[in-house]
Structure 1
Amino acid sequence: MVSLQTVRKSNAHIAALPQDLVALFIGATSGIGQSALQHLSQHVSSPHIYSVARATSVASHENLLATLRQSNPTGTYNLITADVSLVSEIDKVVDAVMQKESKVDIVFMSAGFMAYEGRHNTGEGLDPSMTTRYYSRMRTVQHLLPLLNKAESPRIVSVLAGGMEGPLNEDDLDLRDPPNWSFWNSSVHSATMGTLALERFAHQNPRLSIVHWFPGPVDTPGLAKARKFGMSPPTQMSQVESGERAVFLATSDRYAVQGGFVPMEKGLETAKRSGGGIFLVDPQGESTDNERLLFDLRKRCVDEAVWSFTENVFADCAARASSSKDEL
């Protein structure tokens, strides 16, 4: 277990990082992502921060960014209005970053929700709980790879369920057949497909450090909603602590394929990577092992099947978006 004291010592060194660190946050309007955004902005010098919010959340998120500008006026804070439950909206996010930046150091993705009320497809024909937790995240990484690869030590942190992957319904990856869908199955598919896709990115981009973090129960608005549906974990991490630990995962060289950010604190060793080359991390910052399941999926080339399916989904979403524009 990485103690919170160690996390805080490490985070205190972020101020020594080179100026103009560029970070994109998807999912920072509340919960873990919001806390991570606040903590990173508090520590880093002259950051270029990009954060995404839906139209309904713009006003409240802009208020948050205003407080960050006051607490760290050396930073630049950019709000991108987009709905990440739509894959086609991700292109807007990426374009906004690419117009202003020549590299991206950190991509932090924590958007998502549990669809307790059932599946209600978006205009793209997708389950929004899976889109926010899988499709939109992978679309972001796919299109930002050119800028990530220009950074000295690029890092991706995806907050979901690293190490908690499970079996896939390989004949219905999108769980489109109603009997196959449940809020739990959509969660398992999102996490497992996410790990397989992130491992593929890691293999093709060997300088890219990727962390898939399972934070466990965290005292966020999402957990408050879960309680209404009968889920009441006996213990949970505070939102503040989750943000501190998230920033540690995003900056400590413990989770780097090569150095470049914050050197490891004494007593720590480089975290172990999965057989596919990414860091699967538990709530306390330790590596987890799910190789029995993941090795079998890789051996049977399910990872390639997942990515082929994902690319078809992306192509369909792009075609729908293009058709909508033509109709206008």
Structure 2
Amino acid sequence: MVAINTIKKSNQSALPQNLTAVFLGATSGIGRSTIKQLTIATDNKSPTIYIVGRSASAATPLIAELRQSNSSATIEFIERDVSLVKEADAAMKEIAKRETKVDILFMSVGFMSFEGRKETKEKLEPSLTTRFYSRVRAIQVLLPLLNNSPNPHVTNILAGGQEGPLIEDDLDLSKPGNFGVASAAQQAATMLTLTLERFAAENPKISFVHAFPGLTATPLLSRGSSGIIGFLLQWIVTPLGGLLFASPEDVGARALFYATNARYTVDESEKAATPTPEGLSKVARSAGGVFLVDNKSEAADNEKVLVELREKMADKVQAHVDSVFERVIQE
């Protein structure tokens, strides 16, 4: 396990001037903590930071705090609801019109639904969309800008190393009885890793990270429920989690470490990354080229599961994603 003090010290090391970072999921939880720490770490270095979120008014206090902590930073808010793939697509295309490079694409957006499968107007389930489909679309649109960076990182906070068998004939879990908290979590994590491995093979300069944060005191649980379930999660489970789970501050520090440090950087871009702390070695990637990272900031070895999944399901997942995007984005 990498000590949190080692990580925080590394995060305070010299990050480059003029970083461009894009955050999906920065208004609460791990994303909020990470963006605050990135802004402080780039003080007087003129970063440009994009936040994509549902409500500009709700993000106003965070934006003010970021600007106060780093007066050199340009903070841009793009109001889009990424529970819709088409909204994520539009947000990324807006960024692509403004920028020539993206150094960090950081995605922690997502929630768990305890109320069964409810479809959006895109005929997709929103917790799956935020955890998988919209993340993949964001990467697709920004790939040219990421490849223009000297040290591009795509950092996903979800469940790296927790992959498992897929419901092969129902990847979007639309058939009766297939959608549940556990099945949706495993489906999203597994399809995400397989898709990231495809991106990694096609874009060797980009460092793709899929990290599992462990149990963290965030609003992840309470957002996806209403009624008595939502009440119990918000007022009982979440407060207890604050006592028992890791703090968003520490988990956010680990996440920033993954997005900037040479330990989680491909060889092609390593020289431009923050140096690996003394006494640590580079984390091994999966056989598919992705940094799968556990909650201790070490490599999450899930090759026994992934070997068969790559062989049987990687092409099917890609075909499914292509089909969904062709249908949704053209509407």
TM-score under structure 2 length normalisation: 0.92
- Alpha-carbon contact 2:33-2:252 (below 8 Å) kept: yes
Deviation at 1:235, TM superposition (A): 3.4
Q: Distance between the aligned counterparts of 2:219 and 2:179, measured in 1?
A: 24
Deviation at 1:157, TM superposition (A): 0.5
Structure 2 letter corresponding to 1:49: I
Q: Distance between the aligned counterparts of 1:31 and 1:308, measured in 2?
A: 33
Decide which of 243, 267, 272 is 2:284's aligned counterpart.
Answer: 272
Residues 82-101 of structure 1: per-residue CA shift (max 9 Å, x gap): 00000001122112211221
1:317 aligns with 2:315: no
Q: How does 1:1-328 map to 2 (within 5 A)?
A: 1-13=1-13, 16-44=14-42, 45-54=45-54, 57-223=55-221, 228=232, 235-258=244-267, 259=270, 260-300=272-312, 302-320=313-331
Q: Distance between the aligned counterparts of 1:120 and 1:178, measured in 2?
A: 12
**How many matched pairs?**
315
- Alpha-carbon contact 2:93-2:141 (below 8 Å) kept: no
Q: Secondary structure at the match of 1:211?
A: strand
Q: Secondary structure at the match of 1:79?
A: strand
Q: Distance between the aligned counterparts of 1:182 and 1:219, measured in 2?
A: 22
Residues 43-82 of structure 1: per-residue CA shift (max 9 Å, x gap): 012110000110xx32121221111111101010000000
Q: Which runs of 4+ in 1 moved over 3 A?
A: 223-227, 229-235
In structure 2, stretches of 5+ residues that fail to align are 224-229
Residues 128-156 of structure 1: per-residue CA shift (max 9 Å, x gap): 00000000000000111000001001001
Q: Distance between the aligned counterparts of 1:271 and 1:195, measured in 2?
A: 16
Q: Secondary structure at the match of 1:99?
A: helix
Give me the CA root mean square deviation. Answer: 1.6
Identity over aligned residues, as a percent? Answer: 47
- Alpha-carbon contact 2:110-2:220 (below 8 Å) kept: no
TM-score under structure 1 length normalisation: 0.93
Q: Which position in structure 2 is the counterpart of 1:323?
A: none
Moved more, 180-189 or 75-84: 180-189
- Alpha-carbon contact 2:89-2:134 (below 8 Å) kept: no
Q: Distance between the aligned counterparts of 2:56 and 2:15, measured in 1?
A: 30
Structure 2 letter corresponding to 1:36: T
Residues 189-234 of structure 1: per-residue CA shift (max 9 Å, x gap): 0000000000000001011101101001101122566893596778
Q: Secondary structure at the match of 1:296?
A: helix
Structure 2 letter corresponding to 1:53: G
